[in-house]
Chain A
Amino acid sequence: MTRERLYGWGRTSPSVAEVLAPIASDVENELHRAPRLLARGLGRSYGDAAQLAGGTVLRSSEMATMSPISSDGRVTVEAGVTIDDLIRVGVPQGWFVPVTPGTRQVSVGGAIAADVHGKNHHVEGSFGHHVLSMRLATPRGIISCSPTVESELFWATFGGMGLTGVVLDAELQLIAISSTDVLVDTTRFNNLDAVMNEMSSGDHRYRYSVAWVDCMTTGSSMGRAILTRGDHATESRSELAPPREAKLAVPFNAPSGLLNPLTIRAFNELWFRAAPKQRRDEAQSISSFFHPLDGVRDWNRLYGRKGFVQYQFAVPDTAGETVVDAIKTLSTSKVPSFLAVLKRFGAGTPGPLSFPMPGWTLALDLPVGPSALPGVLDQLDELVTNAGGRVYLAKDARLDPAHFRAMYPRYQEFLAIKHRVDPDDIISSDLARRLELIRK
């Protein structure tokens, strides 16, 4: 039992908690012993979702066993098993994860709690759509749930950011692949309208699709973008081998200011120059297509001591202009931003805190420092709320309670479900307190 300072991936507002790494059968005891408790995976959420100041935090690292994969691609994993583990074990047997976020270093517990989405959300939905059942440890005991058993609790857990209980294990449905290659089409666009038109009309033809948008150019090239789309190759050109480890690492915090408008602009420029105007059926590896950032370990330290925030929002299909307005707001406000990620979403999961909605999602990486930044993001909250959209809690580190309630109007339904299994709010987090989901 040690007191430890816990950060999110953005390294912005750490807090200290008592940190334990129990095996699954000890979780229930901890729930009865600790006055306040939270589960944590690999800390890849950007803000304060996996922190509980002054409380007990259970790391899932000792909950890491995996069943054999059945002949129809089902596997039961403990919550601490990672997407990386699943890919390593599954790929050589011809199985791939149904959904992967932009990094493989995410636990199954974290993937469930945030209901993570990948490049295939517009056709295959989020992680929750591929979980067959799970076991949750709650102050009211261990509860097995699925889309048919305890379904309200099951769905509330997706997007519930760990607040409905500790996921012990889950049964997942994997997808079959016959090659480790992904065949990718790349197209470069000179402005935002052009890329959004192409995504609206053509994304349904691809399993995976994502666009990188430059938020630092203004005028006619505002929002120039690179769109990459693809699917797993069907015939095997290479052996089914697991992806390789990261080769580079950032050993310490870079000086704040290394990433400034100038260097970011230069980076964005290089990125664009490097992309082809148009290329079809290029074979890429799983790593380079799905997890390009995993090639450099601890890259978040490049942002220096002040850290960085990510702002990701979703808006309905009818509010495409909100994406344009958001990028305009940023590009005119002198707040530097790395390439933003733009994607189309399909329907969310049925739970009250589900993030995705049919339409658009945009994610922006922003170094902390510019004095205008907090205000600019408050402005974006207003834009997004008015468009009927919402901010992704797994990335959030600065939303206020009033906008949270407006963006997630079903939050009371969520609390009612939570309170059935946790009437005394034993399960809590810094995020939940910041958003006033929990007051004490």
Chain B
Amino acid sequence: MENAFGQPQTVVVLGGSSDIARELTTKLCAERARTVVLAGRNEQLLNEAAAEAQRAGATLTPIVRFDAEDVTSAERAVRESFEAVGAPVDLVVIAVGLLGNQEVDENDPAAAARMSIVNYAWPVSALAALRERMIAQGAGRIVVISSVAGIRVRRGSYLYSGAKAGLDRLCEGYADSLIGTGVTLQIVRPGFVHTKMTTGMKPAPFSVDATKVANDIVAGMRTPQRIIYTPGIMKWLFAILRHLPAPLWRKINEDR
């Protein structure tokens, strides 16, 4: 069970090999997490993440494999993850994501579809698979890694940001649908995070590393707030940026 400080004991991480997911897992294991299911595509990375989790204090770290390009794998991934825990799941993290290569993908119908499948359709299917399972438990938390990029979509990353925008907005309604069930959903909106996904990209202002993101998520889980910004300044920054006149918005994003 999750305790008074939002510290879970059983965790399922969908997209468990991402840098943010791994930092978060390590942090949760240093607190109360003992059973952590790491689900994802790359077996080797998942094994590394599992070893890391064990070093941080986990005692059971099963691995579940799925490919987020295949939406039909979401239900199976969720089912197998819950079976692997064998007890109520306190926390599900959805950290599945693909940054893609905008310049190439925007002219490739298959690649463009892939961007919305991995970043949007697969997570949505997973959320649907989670819904009744979590509600039956009468308790539990879902944390969805979104992005500030979804608050206002940029020319240079609209395939990624647009899909995140969809997921982010959908999660707000999904979270409302959970009111009174004992289950909660929190949306994490990180700014620019230095990870293997963003290597080679020009960092945006107020960039952070995955450790900072993990710390902010853990702190956010102690509060009832629905949206967790990381770093915190993103909340204020985007309160302004979202209302910026379009020409100005384009201007500040010219080189990105």
Contacts and interface: CB of A to CB of B under 8 A. Distances in A.
B199 interface: no
A398 B5 contact: yes
Nearest to B222: A368
Interface residues of A, number: 34
Interface of B is mostly: loop
A438 to B, nearest CB: 9
Interface in B217-233: 219, 222-224
Nearest to A439: B87
Interface of A is mostly: loop
A17 B181 CA distance: 9
Contacts of A430: 1, 139
Interface in B1-52: 1-7, 9, 31-32
Contacts of B181: 3, 16
Most buried by A among B4, B6, B219, B224: B4
A16 B4 CA distance: 15
A434 B139 CA distance: 13
A50 to B, nearest CB: 13
B219 A371 contact: yes
Contact of B7 (A3, A306, A398, A440): A398
B4 A54 contact: no
Contact of A306 (B1, B31, B224): B224
A431 B139 CA distance: 13
Interface stretch (A6-14, A22-30, A206-214): A6-14
B72 interface: no
B210 to A, nearest CB: 19
Contacts of A15: 1, 138-139, 182
B223 A5 contact: no
Contacts of B139: 13-16, 53-54, 430
A433 interface: yes
Interface string A299-332: 0000001110100000000000000000000000
B138 A398 contact: no
Most buried by B among A52, A54, A439: A54
A55 B138 contact: yes
Most buried by B among A52, A305, A430, A440: A430
A13 B4 contact: yes
B200 interface: no
Most buried by A among B2, B32, B88, B182: B182
B195 interface: no
A400 interface: yes
Contacts of B9: 434
Interface string B79-92: 00000001110000
A306 B222 contact: yes
Nearest to B181: A16
Nearest to B223: A306
A397 B5 CA distance: 9
B4 A309 contact: yes
A47 interface: yes
Contacts of B219: 371
Interface string B169-194: 00000000000111000000000000
A13 B136 contact: no
Given A47-B4, A48-B3, 13 more contacts: A5-B180, A10-B4, A13-B139, A48-B1, A53-B88, A53-B139, A53-B182, A54-B138, A369-B222, A371-B222, A374-B222, A430-B1, A430-B139
Closest 9 CB pairs of A and B: A16-B182, A54-B138, A12-B4, A397-B4, A53-B139, A53-B138, A15-B139, A434-B1, A16-B138
